[in-house]
Amino acid sequence: MSLSRAIIYPVARRFFAGVNLGPALERIKEDNTFGIGATVDFLGEDVADTSEAEMAKAEYRRAIEAIEFEALDASVAIKLTHIGLDISSILAENNALEIAAVAKERGVFLWVDMESSEHTDSIIKIYRKMLSKGVPAGLALQASLKRTWDDIKALTADGARIRLVKGAYNEPPEIAVQDMGGIRARFIDMARYLLDSGASFAIGTHDLLIIDRVREMASGADRVEYQMLMGLRDSTKKKLVREGLRVVEYVPYGADWYGYGIRRLTEKKRNALYFVQGLMGR
């Protein structure tokens, strides 16, 4: 391990389970004892090499098989650029459908993460193929993208399960709302639409304003899943579980933890403070 990775590792560890699947399974078991479900995320994206895409596919399969074998309350999240979308959409589709077939056979739910806007059409197309094959799968949609109103309506009409998120990618103003107030308002309106449509869906956010608003609107409906990342908002997760709501922790793992860990450590003042304290050995 390089010096910078060795220094960052102990402080970033709060945000991912470990380098291998084993610690991720341990984390999921711990979550499950608190009544929290999990979505396991094998870290990686944007692979440019077919052999890396093959490796990722094999690891996603392993995670699905382990979840079934250990009877865990967990699903698996996949990124299509991790299994070759940047190389070719046919390759990503074939890999995704292979993973989906295993998930279907094992009865493990698959979440397809949404990535940058250049991939949105291909990701939706591949997700639709999964749905048409009866795979238990959901798709993340980004409230900040202007196209999302159309996508959410068309996809829910076709039985899709949506994870609504703000959107993690820097997108230009022509296609994405930029201000936080606007994004929050769209998020809440979209959540209301999903509730009114009778769909079962998830929200992926740490934004208490949104979480509280959705809780109010849902008034105890068990069709809403509250998803948050490992290492963030732990007390909120437990509080929502005590209220009888469905909470799912997103549990990342893998050798590709460095970029992910740095992003989490630097995105919020509180996390940056934790980072500095960790480096000082406090």
**Smallest distance, ligand FDA to C-beta of residue 212, A:** 11
Q: Which is nearer to ligand FDA, 72 or 162 (CB)?
A: 162
Looking from the CA of 110 toward its CB, the CA atoms found within 13 Å total 31
Contact call for residues 171 and 116 (beta carbons, < 8 A) = yes
Q: Which is nearer to ligand FDA, 93 or 113 (CB)?
A: 113
Candidate segments 30-38, 93-101, 166-174, 193-201, binder of ligand FDA by CB under 6 A: 166-174
205 binds ligand FDA, rule: CB under 6 A: yes
The per-residue DSSP string of 65-105 comes to HHHHHTT-SEEEEE-GGGGTTTT-HHHHHHHHHHHHHHHHH
Confirm whether 113 is a catalytic residue.
yes
End-to-end Cα, the chain, rounded Å: 23
What does the block give as tokens for 112?
């397809």
**Smallest distance, ligand FDA to C-beta of residue 247, A:** 10
Contact call for residues 75 and 64 (beta carbons, < 8 A) = no
Phi-psi region of 122 (alpha: psi -120 to 50; beta: other; left: phi over 0): alpha
Which of 167, 252, 254, 261 binds ligand FDA (CB under 6 A)? It is: 167
**Smallest distance, ligand FDA to C-beta of residue 209, A:** 7
When CB distances to ligand FDA are compared, the closest residue is 204
Please give the residues from 254 up to 273 whose contact with ligand FDA meets the rule CB under 6 A: 268, 270
Catalytic residue among 31, 41, 113, 256: 113
**Smallest distance, ligand FDA to C-beta of residue 195, A:** 18
For residue 221, list its beta bridge partners.
Answer: none
55 binds ligand FDA, rule: CB under 6 A: no
> Interior CA angle at 160 toward 226 and 158, to 5°?
150
Please give the residues from 107 up to 146 whose contact with ligand FDA meets the rule CB under 6 A: 113-114, 140, 142
Confirm whether 150 is a catalytic residue.
no
Residue identified by tokens 């999964």 is: 130
Catalytic residue among 27, 161, 163, 184: 163
**Smallest distance, ligand FDA to C-beta of residue 202, A:** 8
Contact call for residues 146 and 190 (beta carbons, < 8 A) = no
Which of 204, 252, 254, 261 binds ligand FDA (CB under 6 A)? It is: 204
Q: How far apart are CA 39 and CA 77, in angstroms?
A: 6
Q: How far apart are CA 95 and CA 87, in angstroms?
A: 12
Q: What is the pattern of x (binds ligand FDA, CB under 6 A) and - over residues 94-113? A: -------------------x
Q: How far apart are CA 228 and CA 163, in angstroms?
A: 11
Contact call for residues 50 and 87 (beta carbons, < 8 A) = yes
Which of 168, 185, 217, 262 binds ligand FDA (CB under 6 A)? It is: 168
Please give the residues from 216 up to 255 whose contact with ligand FDA meets the rule CB under 6 A: 227-229, 232-233, 250
81 binds ligand FDA, rule: CB under 6 A: no
Give the binding site for ligand FDA (CB under 6 A).
113-114, 140, 142, 165-169, 204-207, 227-229, 232-233, 250, 268, 270
Active site residues per annotation = 113, 163
